[in-house]
Structure 1
Amino acid sequence: MSAAVPLARIWLCADDYGMSPGVNRGIRDLIGRGRLNATSVMVVGPAAGRAEILALGSAARGRPRCAIGLHATLTAPFRPLSMHFRPLDGGMFLSIPKLFRSGLSRTLDPEIVKAELKLQLATFGEMFGRPPDFVDGHQHVQLFPLVRDAFLQAVKESAPAAWVRQAGRPGPLLRRLNAPKVLFLDALSVQFRSRAARAGIAVNPGFAGAYDFSKKPDFGRLMRQFLAGLPDQGVVMCHPGFVDDVLVSLDPFTDQREREHAYLAGDQFPALLAENRVTLG
């Protein structure tokens, strides 16, 4: 009789806690159901107040294997915590295309970026009474040129035990040729992984979860693709939540969050995990 294939433990991480009360509520609901085992907190978000942080801490205590990380944020429409952050656009961080171009053209000051990220890490510590379990980036800013070095230095100095998220996917390149966003993140992650290794910072061995949300695809079908071939300790990024006025004012990713929540809360998801010999436990 052949031995059973061991279960692979993955991190199913809900990004954007702190963006809006509806997003927070959706994430806490799934943590309580045991359908998430990680979330990353946007400390600059309008819904990252004391009551929302206490509610998250209470939900996570009921699930002791639920990791809580920092969702480092450097793009509009959010504002920096540090007084001297530059460049800004109308008092807000730059848009994601402008931030990426600033990194490529080397017009960003890594020390200013590092100072902002260290302040976000310190704010997380004040909120939760401890450093984050991991650190990732809103809109994958941790992978951007110049930003990545400041990001890794800030983590090394302020949260050395944390792991950081890379967004490369192992496996045949042919699987990703029809997904430009995934290929882009793969390419950026090569340098990020190399720099993290030199800094002695742990990274996740695999990543999935990026897709074009504007097309409103079937999330269950996507999740099947995300889990295929994902290694042990790999990360699947997700964005569940409930739509509210705050979310609509800040982010174009709205109704699809409710579709993600509905799938993750439903009966099909545990069956898919079992089928793929994957666990969140």
Structure 2
Amino acid sequence: MPAVMPQPRVMLVVTGDDFGYCPRRNQGIVDCFLAGGISNVSLLVNATAAKEAADLAKRHNIPIGLHANLSEGIPVCQSKKQVSTLINECGFFHGKIGFRQALEQGQLSMKQVELELGAQVRLFRELTGHLPYHMDGHQHVHVLPEVCEVFAQVMSDFRIPYTRVPVEPGLHSCLWLPLHLRRFYTQVEKNALDAIPVFMRYNIRWPDVYLGLTTMGQNMSVPHLQRALHHSLAAGPSSASLCSSASGSDEAVVTAELMVHPGYSSHPQEGGCGEGPDDFSQSADRQHELSVLTDPALFSLYSQERVQLCAFKDLPLLSRNK
């Protein structure tokens, strides 16, 4: 008889963000998926290569969700009746920091946020032929005050079950991050913690543990990923996910999401969401992540730690997170 595989200790969704950003990003993400390095992707529907990305997902049967974008490029919802508060004088979103500043100053219409998010969900359905099974926010805008309420409402309206809550165990002991990133990530974490009661009220779900802030770009390595996984195991399952083991006993399984950004470096002026590719996209960081995610040493680590890669659609729809 063949050996019975032990039950996993971690069901890990490895999500390749920014699918659709440019052809070279798309190719890198597909290559990473086919090599077993990622198990899920998140689509930017307002990006220049979104249609190509959706077609690639269909061709290769890649599980795909929506990377809702309110901060980079051109909106999907173009209202001719009134001036949008979501864009600057050039017609582009305000940017990662600009969006947050406009929100703090009370300059953003939440009704326009709702219309834009709804338009992006509908465009996703048009491109892929189905609704997203998960929906997160580009540059973590979905956990910001006020925005998280609208985000959760849109998810509930379209019956999208899963989102991302970027609260990463081990973040504050991660000394290799530069000070400006630590400050930004700490604020992201605070916003995410404040958003949890909102998501719970709408019965939105998310994995037990989130990983990825401490392992982006050049900070990604097999030892750093091992550290992140150990923190996730220490955090334990928050929704009491139980699987029956081969011996018939019950064992708690931690569900986790690892946010990653694999790809090949963007060519200048090729890609983006209407303004061209950003510096991160044109750097070698994307290909570095691709290399680490497909390193045999990482696969050995997964096997050793009993980590099973899966998609959001594979996670059990148990009672909402506590």
Rg (Cα) greater in structure: 2
Question: Is 1:183 aligned with 2:186?
Answer: yes
Alignment of 1:1-281 (within 5 A): 6-49=8-51, 51-60=52-61, 66-76=62-72, 78-84=73-79, 85-89=84-88, 90-158=90-158, 160-170=159-169, 175=173, 179-211=182-214, 216-230=218-232, 231=236, 232-245=254-267, 246-247=270-271, 249-253=276-280, 254-281=283-310
CA contact (8 A) 2:49 2:271 kept: no
Who is 2:250 aligned against?
A: none
Separation (CA, whole Å) in 2 of partners of 1:37 and 1:213 = 17
CA contact (8 A) 2:16 2:38 kept: yes
Unaligned runs of 5+ in 2: 1-5, 237-253, 311-322
After superposing the two structures, state which structure 1 stretch, 267-276 or 232-241, moved more: 267-276
Separation (CA, whole Å) in 1 of partners of 2:212 and 2:98 = 24
Q: In the alignment, residue 167 of structure 2 is paired with which amino acid?
A: G
Separation (CA, whole Å) in 1 of partners of 2:161 and 2:59 = 21
The total of aligned residue pairs comes to 268
Q: In the alignment, residue 183 of structure 1 is paired with which amino acid?
A: T
> How far off its partner does 1:275 sit?
2.5
CA contact (8 A) 1:110 1:149 kept: no
> How far off its partner does 1:88 sit?
1.2
> How far off its partner does 1:269 sit?
1.5
SS in 2 for 1:163: coil
> How far off its partner does 1:213 sit?
5.2
Q: Deviations over 1:129-174 (max 9, x none)?
A: 111010011111101122212211111112x142111101347x75
CA contact (8 A) 2:211 2:257 kept: yes
Separation (CA, whole Å) in 2 of partners of 1:48 and 1:12 = 20
SS in 1 for 2:132: coil
Separation (CA, whole Å) in 1 of partners of 2:78 and 2:184 = 33
Which portions of structure 1, spanning 4 or more consecutive aligned residues, are displaced by more than 6 angstroms?
none
Separation (CA, whole Å) in 2 of partners of 1:182 and 1:68 = 25
CA separation of 1:52/1:174 partners in 2, compared to 1, >3 Å: closer, same or farther?
closer
> How far off its partner does 1:93 sit?
0.4
CA separation of 1:199/1:260 partners in 2, compared to 1, >3 Å: closer, same or farther?
same
CA contact (8 A) 2:14 2:309 kept: yes
After superposing the two structures, state which structure 1 stretch, 261-270 or 178-187, moved more: 178-187
Separation (CA, whole Å) in 2 of partners of 1:67 and 1:101 = 34
Q: In the alignment, residue 280 of structure 1 is paired with which amino acid?
A: L
Separation (CA, whole Å) in 1 of partners of 2:216 and 2:13 = 21
Q: In the alignment, residue 56 of structure 1 is paired with which amino acid?
A: A
> How far off its partner does 1:86 sit?
2.2
Normalising by the residue count of structure 2, what TM-score does the alignment of the two structures yield? 0.77
Separation (CA, whole Å) in 2 of partners of 1:271 and 1:264 = 12
Separation (CA, whole Å) in 1 of partners of 2:68 and 2:31 = 23
Between the two structures, name the one with larger relative contact order (CA 8 Å, sep ≥ 6). Answer: 2
Separation (CA, whole Å) in 2 of partners of 1:235 and 1:54 = 24
SS in 1 for 2:255: coil
Q: CA RMSD in A?
A: 2.2
> How far off its partner does 1:28 sit?
0.8
